[in-house]
Structure 1
């Protein structure tokens, strides 16, 4: 059951209070009228034997030409008093209720308009919060502000507090990105120096076999750390919205990536099939190349390596103003509930942390960040028989000049 909105509740409360006040007013009006009628008749035509010591008027009323006694005259006046009181009661009840119903309907309408106007700033707060929550990346929508104008009341105080909170969150995310980027950049220099020193020691004439074997192990570890740092830098870069865009055909990117990964596919005994159909989009060409590269490398590395494994890479223009790159691969079965873990940094199946010689555990995280930075997204689902089907969706270029 859909809950009743606050605007409806405020309108009902406003209208109900108005109707209650109208009913009380009608009741008070009738009581005052009844009291006044009684007072007038008692003062003018009171009972001469009332015992209050006041002089009363004695009436003699002619009815159809026949004079009535004072008692009969007073009884007739009492009858007229009751008829007047009954007519007044009927008029107040019927006409008053009709008038109250009409004015009450107007009050409900006015209450609806007033409630909408009062709640309009809250709707702005809600709309801004929803835009932030719907942002593809956690900090992508933090540039939104309510910026409510008007008197400093409770609603404006709420909106200003919300803006302050969002601004602090944005500064926090920016600081975190800068820290990751700066730290990764600073770590590149010692790693490069380590690699140079190890290579120098390995290539000395006096280097023994043990030294060379140790050098190869150190170079492998160093290369692993370099890939990790490069991945962190790329991830930090991909989480920024792309401002400088250029035209990119994903078909060309797919062809280029398939050629680049051919040696690794041959080494892993995996066959790569290419289906490059035109898929025009716009964005950062290097980041889009990395997106496709990571998908293909992921399909090659997490595959069967007995000569029967394959990877199919396809690009095409889809319905709804989108272009897609889909990578399908054979491999071990992937439970559907484990797929969200694959898009988290340093994760593999089962939720364990992963940093291997060939992978820093950032591949699919970078894919999702790049896709969302370009206004798209990426989805994955298990392939029947094992492996994955991963599809990256990007906006189609509105204008294309080949």
Structure 2
């Protein structure tokens, strides 16, 4: 009976997480509400997320230059959280995560992990798409993390570039480039595979 209760609790928690993720995706796709934006220090958000939930068994390399953007603090916090969670979840034992911000307006998160075919990268940013087949294990995720990141980036007028890392390191690098404060609303390209 205890095992069944634990299983039901796990299913309920997974369902709750899925609903919350779908709501966040929908809210992000609607764009930013007037009056909900202000200056947000992305370097501080990244540092706080790493301090609150440090990745165990992984090397973390941080290069956090000052980076303040105009946006919704809650959504940008979720963007950072999802990028870091993805980098941890899809890493290898003893692997590495690199988190960087630049004064030029870029947040980049990279990890080591399985080798990804560059042709598969665009679909990783689609809702419910995963690199590996679903195994129905605890903490597996629903395949919404990077699609939420892409939606939040679009809502903030940012461009998102995702690239498969070269062998043998494997893994993925995701760069989110925000328009400079004085150029909000204009698009600035980033070299690489632009996804959104």
TM (norm. structure 1) is: 0.42
Counting only pairs closer than 5 Å after superposition, residues 50-61 of structure 1 correspond to structure 2 as none
State the Cα deviation string for residues 125-175 of structure 1 (Å, max 9, x = none).
xxxxxxxxxxxxxxxxxxxxxxxxxxxxxxxxxxxxxxxxxxxxxxxxxxx
- Structure 2 counterpart SS, 1:257: helix
Tell me, in whole angstroms, the C-alpha distance in 2 between the residues paired with 1:356 and 1:212: 19
Counting only pairs closer than 5 Å after superposition, residues 3-402 of structure 1 correspond to structure 2 as 211-242=1-32, 243-244=34-35, 245-262=37-54, 265-266=55-56, 269-305=57-93, 308-318=94-104, 323-349=105-131, 357-358=138-139, 359-384=141-166, 385-398=169-182
- Structure 2 counterpart SS, 1:221: helix
Structure 1 residues 253, 345: closer, same or farther in 2, change over 3 A? same
TM (norm. structure 2) is: 0.85
Indicate the structure whose relative CO is greater, using CA pairs within 8 Å and at least 6 residues apart. 2
Q: Over aligned residues, Cα RMSD in angstroms?
A: 1.8
Aligned twin of 1:73 = none
Unaligned ranges ≥5, structure 2: 184-196
Specify the structure having the higher radius of gyration (Cα). Answer: 1
How far apart are 1:216 and its partner, in Å?
A: 1.3
How far apart are 1:286 and its partner, in Å?
A: 0.7
How far apart are 1:353 and its partner, in Å?
A: 6.4
Structure 1 residues 226, 354: closer, same or farther in 2, change over 3 A? farther
State the Cα deviation string for residues 44-79 of structure 1 (Å, max 9, x = none).
xxxxxxxxxxxxxxxxxxxxxxxxxxxxxxxxxxxx
Tell me, in whole angstroms, the C-alpha distance in 2 between the residues paired with 1:217 and 1:349: 26
- Structure 2 counterpart SS, 1:272: strand
Decide which structure has greater strand share: 2
Would the aligned equivalents of 1:261 and 1:297 in 2 still touch at CA under 8 Å?
no
Tell me, in whole angstroms, the C-alpha distance in 2 between the residues paired with 1:227 and 1:272: 26
How far apart are 1:377 and its partner, in Å?
A: 2.0
State the Cα deviation string for residues 71-95 of structure 1 (Å, max 9, x = none).
xxxxxxxxxxxxxxxxxxxxxxxxx
State the Cα deviation string for residues 260-301 of structure 1 (Å, max 9, x = none).
221xx21xx222222211111111001001001101100000
How far apart are 1:396 and its partner, in Å?
A: 2.3
Would the aligned equivalents of 1:383 and 1:389 in 2 still touch at CA under 8 Å?
yes
Tell me, in whole angstroms, the C-alpha distance in 2 between the residues paired with 1:254 and 1:393: 15
- Structure 2 counterpart SS, 1:398: helix
How many residues were matched structurally? 178
Question: Which stretch has the larger CA shift, 390-399 or 338-347?
Answer: 390-399
Decide which structure has greater helix share: 1
Structure 1 residues 367, 355: closer, same or farther in 2, change over 3 A? farther
State the Cα deviation string for residues 349-399 of structure 1 (Å, max 9, x = none).
26x568753212100000000000001121111112201111011122239
Structure 1 residues 237, 353: closer, same or farther in 2, change over 3 A? farther
Structure 1 residues 280, 311: closer, same or farther in 2, change over 3 A? same
Would the aligned equivalents of 1:347 and 1:353 in 2 still touch at CA under 8 Å?
no
